[in-house]
Each structure stands twice: as structure tokens, then as C-alpha cells.
Structure 1
């Protein structure tokens, strides 16, 4: 199932105010960027945010399970945003800001190889994060 334009527009409207936003559709999903940092995904009309130790407790308390794979610490990399959070712009803004911080930390930890400078180019703009 693909991402519907209506749902993606709703998500982008709800996220207004956290910073410069854009969404990029590819392969039946969309990546959501804030100030060039990929921090969220829309897959099958469900919004997912990036998660690490700093914001995982929010999702645990909401009873949300991880999506995709886990990192080396066993923490799921992305979690679905609960419907009640998505509906409340103030709460969503707080959760989104945490997800942007997670994504920014991850991006800062990635470096280009000195012998293969092109190796991390896609990851830096978010294309490899799908």
C-alpha cells in the first residue's frame, strides 16, 4: 500500500512549527525532513519517528512497538506515532523535536570514508536511511 497524498498532507500540517519541513516520496513511502534531517517516515499511512535511548520511554509508555530493525543496543530505530499524539499538535511537536534530535545525533555520528568519500553521501541527505 502506498502513502496517500491526503494523509501525508495531514502529517505535514500537524508538524508545522517545528522547523523547515519537506517530505520526499519513494518506493511507496515518504521520508519527512526537518531542516534537511530525515526524522520520520510515513508507511502505509502510518507516521513513524526515529527513536533512541533519549525518547524511547515515550513510546514504551504509550505501548508502541518498534518498526523495522533494532540497532546494536536492541533499541528499535523507528516507532509508530500513536494516534492521540498525532492529533495533539503540542504533544506531536515535542515528540517530533525529540525525533529530530535523535536523527541529528545519528547523522553527526556518520562520517564519510577517507578512501571512499562517496560512500556516505546518500546517508547524509537521508536517502540511505530508508
Structure 2
């Protein structure tokens, strides 16, 4: 799988301006972390970047496609979008898209850490 290894290395280089990037094999692809935040994945030979309600419209406007997989015969759409074609060419072109992914990961972590609001006592 030399091409797979080369693409993983290329994607690590693309994401490197964000900070320390590490990758690991998972689910038949690769996952990418920056400062322990999961921001991207490679699946089906394509790089997908984390998105959320705040950033989704930018990815859609750029013609990016959502990550969809077959979940027991039904399509399951995840909060990841392909990177724009031109962004795959260089770290400079990838940087604004990678930053959106990092920001989405930061928001997701903050949402998980936010304490649940206690129920108001009945009066």
C-alpha cells in the first residue's frame, strides 16, 4: 500500500501548519489529530475534514461532499466533508479548511465538557 502511505504522509504535511499532527489507522482508513483533537480522516481514498453547524455551509458552498457510509443497509452521514480539490495541492491552500476543522473539533470538545444544566426544582 505505498500510495496509501504516501497519501497519509501528504495529508499530515497539509495539516502541519495547525500544530503537531499525528495519525493512526482506524476503520480501514486513517484518523488525524492535532493536539489530541480529531480533525480529519481518510476513507475511500479521500481526505475528510471535521465540520459542524457553524462550518457546514462553507464546505457545502465549496462543493465539498459529506462523508457517508453504509450502516446496515442505510446511508449514515457523518460530520465530515471532503476537502476542496485545490486545498489538497498545498498546506497554504489547505490551511483555512483545516482551521475550520480544528475549530469544529474544539467546539465539539467544549460541548462534551459543558456540564448539564440542573433541572429547576418544581414550585
Q: What is the CA distance between 1:82 and its match in structure 2? A: 2.0
Residue 110 of structure 2, aligned match among 98, 108, 115: 108
Q: Which residue of 1 aligns with 2:121?
A: none
Cα drift, residue 18 of structure 1: 0.9
2:87 matched residue in structure 1 = 85
- So what's the TM-score if we normalise by structure 2? 0.75
**How far apart are the structure 1 equivalents of 2:87 and 2:13?**
14
With structure 1 as the length reference, what TM-score do the two structures score? Answer: 0.72
RMSD: 2.2
Instruction: Give the secondary structure class of the aligned counterpart of 1:110.
Output: helix
Consecutive unaligned residues of structure 1, counting only runs of 5 or more, are 71-75, 113-130
Where do 4+ consecutive residues of structure 1 move more than 4 Å?
A: none
| Higher normalized strand content (fraction of residues) | 2
Stretches of structure 2 lacking an aligned partner (at least 5 in a row): 69-75, 115-123
